Amino acid sequence: AALAAGGAWASEELVKMSANPKDWVMPAGDYANTRYSKLNQITAQNVGKLQVAWTFSTGVLRGHEGGPLIVGNMMYVHTPFPNKVYAIDLAQDNKIVWRYEPKQDPNVIPVMCCDTVNRGVAYGDGKIFLHQADDKLVAIDAKTGQHVWTAVNGDPSKGQTGTSAPLVVKDKVLVGTSGGEFGVQCSMTAYDIKSGKQVWKAYSEGPDDQILFDANTTSLGKPVGKDSSLKTWQGDQWKTGGGCTWGWISYDPQLDMVYYGSGNPSTWNPKQRPGDNKWSMTIFARAADTGVAKWVYQMTPHDEWDYDGVNEMILSDQAINGQPRKLLTHFDRNGLAYTLDRTNGELLVAEKYDPKVNWTTGVDMDKNSATYGRPKVVDQYSTDKQGEDVNTKGICPAALGTKDEQPAAYSPDTQLFYVPTNHVCMDYEPFKVSYTAGQPYVGATLSMYPPPGESHMGNFIAWDGKTGKIAWSNKEPFSVWSGALATAGGVVFYGTLEGYLKAVDAKTGKELYKFKTPSGIIGNVTTYENGGKQYVAVLSGVGGWAGIGLAAGLTDPTAGLGAVGGYAALSNYTALGGTLTVFSLPQQ
Amino acid sequence: AALAAGGAWASEELVKMSANPKDWVMPAGDYANTRYSKLNQITAQNVGKLQVAWTFSTGVLRGHEGGPLIVGNMMYVHTPFPNKVYAIDLAQDNKIVWRYEPKQDPNVIPVMCCDTVNRGVAYGDGKIFLHQADDKLVAIDAKTGQHVWTAVNGDPSKGQTGTSAPLVVKDKVLVGTSGGEFGVQCSMTAYDIKSGKQVWKAYSEGPDDQILFDANTTSLGKPVGKDSSLKTWQGDQWKTGGGCTWGWISYDPQLDMVYYGSGNPSTWNPKQRPGDNKWSMTIFARAADTGVAKWVYQMTPHDEWDYDGVNEMILSDQAINGQPRKLLTHFDRNGLAYTLDRTNGELLVAEKYDPKVNWTTGVDMDKNSATYGRPKVVDQYSTDKQGEDVNTKGICPAALGTKDEQPAAYSPDTQLFYVPTNHVCMDYEPFKVSYTAGQPYVGATLSMYPPPGESHMGNFIAWDGKTGKIAWSNKEPFSVWSGALATAGGVVFYGTLEGYLKAVDAKTGKELYKFKTPSGIIGNVTTYENGGKQYVAVLSGVGGWAGIGLAAGLTDPTAGLGAVGGYAALSNYTALGGTLTVFSLPQQ
Ligand SMILES: O=C(O)c1cc(C(=O)O)c2c(n1)C(=O)C(=O)c1cc(C(=O)O)[nH]c1-2
Ligand SMILES: O=C(O)c1cc(C(=O)O)c2c(n1)C(=O)C(=O)c1cc(C(=O)O)[nH]c1-2
């Protein structure tokens, strides 16, 4: 591939910058989505002395996901709708250098399924890229805050919205779409970084020229063949098929491939859409330049539980059975953690990362089996088998999965993944719905609760992706809806829905520090260095799907797609409000 | 007076409780409005080590005035409109025990002149008293959060609103009214603490039976005589005369008198309302049981600048010329600090507390003069003399005064007052308006800016009330819109509009500590002790009149009655958001 006009690719700059642990230049810290930092001033020994260094209110109330970017002395802080962006000068007493506030039609709010969240901005080519709630992608001059270009990625009046963070890859900006609860045919799209013109668009379902599959596209080592998606849908149901792309994107610069997952097939009523509903619930490995799929793997064919497959793909290089492998590890909503070979999509490990997962007995790992790679579904928890208008009870995990969007971290030091998890089960009753553009297309009533006999709704776990085993697990009263951070100091950080920032020992999980931030944390912990000092930063601001009751002021237990009842007790601990809290060690 | 049914007066309990520095049982800490605490764990020596102990977001964005109450293990946190109240258990990891959220018609918002602020709740008789924006006074069970009674104090459709903190006095709850920019005939009202029934109501202007004046009511030592108010208004202009009572109330249990000030006469166009406009701009000393005025003192007769007289009355016992006196000290908006004998209203000291004050050359202190006690007005800055539709320029202070609602503190240790001040001048152009109930009745266009040749808009000063002299003065880039706290540790605390909590040496003003809270501070600093540890707490959440540009999203420089332009640079430092930040010394 030729260099982009005007010099090296933005991604080359980003690879260089992300190798410098002082900065935090992309939402996940690096292209591999490890959320690991080489900074080691803060250690397991001294983290107990951590203090709040400074704080910053964003001026927005609802759920604050993602975290700030740090590029040199500049910090970029984003908010949920209306998606403000602040540029803060760390060298000038955190003065606000510019603020950007898009004008957006508030009618987008009711089209957002799971709070008005936004998972962060991207940096590259001297610009900040903001994925607005109204599914516009905007480029802003990073120095001045001036608007550079806008790309229209979707149309909220058709149920398309934006919550995901863009990723800058080479001379492109990649961005997904939300709308799985509105019957959107979702896609991943690449825009030219200079002009905002569309370069490629890859749908999750549809004809091969829309999903960008070719003769070389494989699944589990075998070519998928022609019309691999169309064949798994009845009629043209794929046109309202969901498979949304609202999660995280990873990139391997050596292999030149991007990785991401697709969400639930629409509707949530499985009876209404017979077939495997490909390629919903799928990991995609696509060529960065063309978008053509190299390999795919569908984790939950014919979803019956809303187990979106969008959770992050963490790229690591580890040895399995003594063999160095280029791995992709993925903690799926369905409760299974997958380790694949990211060069070719070979399935290496698939294990439950919460022992309470009961809808499946596991994945068929027999390469010679006709159902190789498919989860074995337990009839009792099959909402399709139980049927329409039947309330299937006690399914674990709940629709928000053993993990949702909250990203895990990976430390090469311990070779462990640090995973914020949900420990929640559900009742699920599908019912018939019909599709109207821009209207909810859900077709199920849910309620959520902790597993029988237990009262805690979350665990923060360490996971060995080579063996598929939990190394240690810490109980949390609520689901851990915050992204983790692993550091070379041997400390792992995460936030809790009540609002605690916690630091634990990477090896043992022992709690070393906690601090109650102003509001529940659904943001992702970040670290950076400035003026010779390591800082840890986190956005609080309760919300997201788990916090939708507080965020949207709902009280009916089945509201918020069933989350309101499950997390009702949260209101005893916290209230809304977006604040960045920045920590450091005290002056010596 | 007989004891209230059911036992001792609530105020006896409060006097006892406010003598215990572990609690903070009324908005100003004590009845004397000193905002002084005997706690001395945090000292000038160790305050530099202060840390943030915990934080709490209120879930409300606009200006957060006042501060929490602490009663034993319970903390009560209030918010601006919609006036939520949280009861937080300090002994249970700051769990929210109850939350109270009144339903109020949002149409009250445009009737509030200076942001949707609320200066705090009151405690007494096992109840929390909330003065709602819609000018209802509500009693809430302090243990359960259950509603007990509601008293309708005013009608927002007529421009009456509520921002001030109630005060519990004996078996009554006293509360004022806002509406000086809407031509309200304002009053102070006492309600029965058990039932919420009205006990007395004292207007600021009108016939003697409405203002509760009798033959013994004096001003500067002389009986005011009959119809003292009516005689100073043209026709029945007193009926739309303002004199609102939106500031702080003090109480002297020995003298059994309450003290408070009245605000500007309506309209802001002085040409339209000839006369002294009594008793606007007046200090009132009233009998607690009956409301009858013992003495009054009008500071700014015939106001031409909106210098509301509502600022707090701080009651202290100090010796003047070797004589122990029961004093009342008041830092008026007009730029003069007054010391009076609170037993009889004798005027002892009246001096400028900002040397830039230029509209007056001072108060006539000659007891034999016909203008005794009146400020001598400089024609050049008289908006009445300059006339309607003339822009009178360079008046110091601006309409928001050398000090506005932000309360000062008094330390008996240093015998100094610690005063958050504004250092702002203005242009003022009066114009003709006509009165319509519930509509703004302002009649002036303003702009605000720092004094000529200077760029700082605030000072934090120490004041000797016996001599009328500044002991020390610290410059601040913006007006100090936060209430001060003085402590026995020799430390004085205040907040800044950019969001810093600052600790300074009570003797010298030397800055000992600062911390950037999430948002600009217009709240009042509070201290308490829990579990053997001293805490300092402050609400941030920029807004109020100075922060109205940010709070209401205004950008026209003359909007917000002229404050928007003056404080435009604030947006480079902070954004909205209500958060309580609580500080303590680190674990030893
Ligand atoms: O299918 C979709 O388009 C879609 C979008 C989103 C979103 O954009 O936030 C969520 C989900 N689904 C979803 O299933 C889900 O669990 C979820 C949680 C959250 C969140 O931010 O807490 N968003 C979403
Ligand atoms: O005359 C009135 O009724 C009235 C009410 C209020 C209020 O209730 O907040 C203010 C004022 N006036 C006023 O003049 C003023 O400077 C002011 C500042 C503030 C504030 O909270 O920052 N309120 C008010």
A356-407 confidence digits (pLDDT tens): 999 999 999 999 999 999 999 999 999 999 999 999 999 999 999 999 999 9
Chain B contact for A59 (CB, 8 A cutoff): yes
pLDDT per residue as tens digits for the range B51-89: 999 999 999 999 999 999 999 999 999 999 999 999 999
Judged against a pLDDT cut of 50, whether residue B1 lies above it is answered with no
Confidence (pLDDT) at A9: 79
Residue of B416, B421, B557, B395 whose CA lies nearest to B497: B421
Average pLDDT, stretch A131-144?
A: 98
Confidence (pLDDT) at B447: 96
Average pLDDT of the residues of chain B = 96
Confidence (pLDDT) at A374: 98
Q: Which atom in ligand 1 lies closest to the alpha carbon of residue A182?
A: 3
Q: Which atom in ligand 2 lies closest to the alpha carbon of residue B184?
A: 3
Confidence (pLDDT) at B588: 66
Are β-strands B51-57 and A526-530 bridged in parallel, bridged antiparallel, or unpaired?
unpaired
Q: Which residues of B84-101 are buried (b: 16+ CB within 10 A; e: fewer)?
A: bbbbbbbeeebebbbbbe
Cβ neighbours for A193, distance < 8 A, ≥ 6 positions apart: A4, A10, A124, A125, A127, A139, A168, A171, A172, A173
Judged against a pLDDT cut of 60, whether residue B322 lies above it is answered with yes
Is the CB of B308 inside a 6 Å radius of any atom of ligand 2?
A: yes
A14-18, B177-181, B206-210, B421-425: least confident range: A14-18
Q: Which of A55, A513, A555 to mutate to test the interface with B (most CBs of B within 10 A)?
A: A55
Residue of A268, A334, A266, A252 whose CA lies nearest to A297: A334
Average pLDDT, stretch B319-344?
A: 97
Average pLDDT, stretch B407-413?
A: 98
Confidence (pLDDT) at A13: 87
Judged against a pLDDT cut of 60, whether residue A489 lies above it is answered with yes
Average pLDDT, stretch B533-545?
A: 98
pLDDT per residue as tens digits for the range B468-504: 999 999 999 999 999 999 999 999 999 999 999 999 9
Confidence (pLDDT) at A5: 39
Judged against a pLDDT cut of 90, whether residue A12 lies above it is answered with no
Average pLDDT, stretch A539-551?
A: 97
Q: Do B518 and A516 touch (CB under 8 A)?
A: no
Confidence (pLDDT) at A4: 39
pLDDT per residue as tens digits for the range A283-318: 999 999 999 999 999 999 999 999 999 999 999 999
Judged against a pLDDT cut of 80, whether residue A321 lies above it is answered with yes
Chain B contact for A578 (CB, 8 A cutoff): yes
Judged against a pLDDT cut of 90, whether residue A10 lies above it is answered with no
Judged against a pLDDT cut of 80, whether residue A1 lies above it is answered with no
Judged against a pLDDT cut of 60, whether residue A499 lies above it is answered with yes
Which residue from B64, B182, B246 has its CB within 8 A of the most atoms of ligand 2, so it is best to mutate?
Answer: B246
What whole-number percentage of chain B has pLDDT above 70? 98
Instruction: Provide the sign of the torsion angle of the four alpha carbons B175, B178, B180, B186, taken in this order.
Output: negative
Judged against a pLDDT cut of 90, whether residue B355 lies above it is answered with yes
DSSP code string of A424-438: -EEEEEE------TT
Judged against a pLDDT cut of 80, whether residue B7 lies above it is answered with no
| Distance separating alpha carbons of residues A194 and A217, to the nearest angstrom | 30
Any catalytic annotation for residue B306? yes
Is residue A192 within 8 Å of residue A172, measured between CB atoms? yes
Q: Specify which residues B472 forms β-bridges with.
A: B462
Average pLDDT, stretch B382-391?
A: 98
Would you tell me which residues 504-563 of chain A have a C-beta closer than 8 angstroms to some C-beta of chain B?
A: 515-519, 540-541
Provide φ and ψ at B72, rounded to 5°.
65, -125
Q: Do B516 and A541 touch (CB under 8 A)?
A: no
Which residue from A81, A109, A113, A561 has its CB within 8 A of the most atoms of ligand 1, so it is best to mutate?
Answer: A113
| Distance separating alpha carbons of residues A506 and A462, to the nearest angstrom | 8
Average pLDDT of the residues of chain A = 96
Is residue B252 within 8 Å of residue B315, measured between CB atoms? yes
A571 contact residues in B (CB cutoff 8 A): 96, 99
Task: Quote ipTM for the complex.
Answer: 0.95
Judged against a pLDDT cut of 60, whether residue B2 lies above it is answered with no
Residue of B364, B362, B430, B418 whose CA lies nearest to B392: B430
Confidence (pLDDT) at B269: 98
